[in-house]
Amino acid sequence: MTFGARLHAAMADRGPFCVGIDPHAGLLQEWGLSDDVAGLERFALTVVEAVAPVCSVVKPQSAFYERFGSRGIAVLERVVADSRAAGALVLLDVKRGDIGSTSQAYADAYLDPTSPLASDAITVSPYLGFGSISPMIDTARKHDAGVFVLALTSNKEGPEVQAARTEGDQSVGGLMIEHLRLLNAGAEPLGSFGAVVGATIGETDVDLDFNGPILAPGYGAQGGTPDDIRRIFGPATGNVLASSSREVLRLGPDLSAMRDAVHAANEALRG
């Protein structure tokens, strides 16, 4: 099955809520854990145990593992493997963007099934030009994986690039969506090439119904609500994967509380 088909089925079965597994130092401290590899492992694998059996997608942020070097990456490998074994799809949040052989190397690291970090999908940055991520797109097609492209993010710096206008008076972020519309044309039931669009971006003149999945970070603790999701995405709401980390992680290490938060978020998003 393509990633788009797997994601469509997972969201229908488990719901449209995605949990970010982001073990930053503040959360380790809140859990009473040391800010070292032992604390990282305890935190991350506890979250996997709580949420991976019940949510459609988990989204580990690679940077929080990379800061501990090779031993941190080893923990990330376990997070990926254990989450997939529990039935969750893994969207690895790496936001890579480069050109040529380097872009291909990133693709091989995260999307080739022979890699210990192989995931169902990754996030990428297209702002060296959309064509620069072609190796990642091609590798995803080869291995039935997915790619989520930064398009309309909600960080305050984003509009410097994303709201800039092209010669055809289209926003750069909107142009990214148009590239994705072409990549997903004719895909059933859902394309495998998605966009990252913030759940708190406000109004936009971009048509977000492009037959692909939408990752919407900023839901929950960062201010995004189910009403925001429906208002921003309109006809594309059914393709939206709303993402939050702190909304769930702050409840740990209580497994039941984290799991209940996933169920509650899915219920709210389903309306």
Return the C-alpha torsion angle 63, 64, 69, 74, nearest 10. -100
Does pLDDT of 192 surpass 90?
Answer: yes
Q: How many CA atoms lie within 13 A of 268 on its CB side?
A: 17
Cβ atoms of residues 28 and 43 within 8 Å: yes
Residue 253, preceding bond cis, omega within 30 degrees? Answer: yes
The distance of Cα 47 from the centroid of its chain, to the nearest Å, equals 16
d(CA 217, CA 187): 24
Cβ atoms of residues 166 and 173 within 8 Å: no
* pLDDT reported for residue 216: 97
Per the annotation, the verdict on 95 as an active-site residue is yes
pLDDT confidence of 90, banded at 50, 70, 90?
Answer: very high
* pLDDT reported for residue 87: 98
From 152, 124, 175, select the one nearest 232 (Cα to Cα).
152
- Please state the rounded mean pLDDT for residues 147-162: 92
Given the structure tokens 């604390």, which residue do they identify? 39
Q: What is the CATH number of the domain that holds 100?
A: 3.20.20.70
Does pLDDT of 205 surpass 90?
Answer: no
* pLDDT reported for residue 172: 94
d(CA 12, CA 56): 9
Angle between helices 255-270 and 226-233 (to 10 degrees): 40
Split into its structural domains, the chain has a count of 1
Q: Among residues 59, 95, 142, 156, which one is catalytic?
A: 95
Domain that holds residue 249: 3-270
* pLDDT reported for residue 221: 73
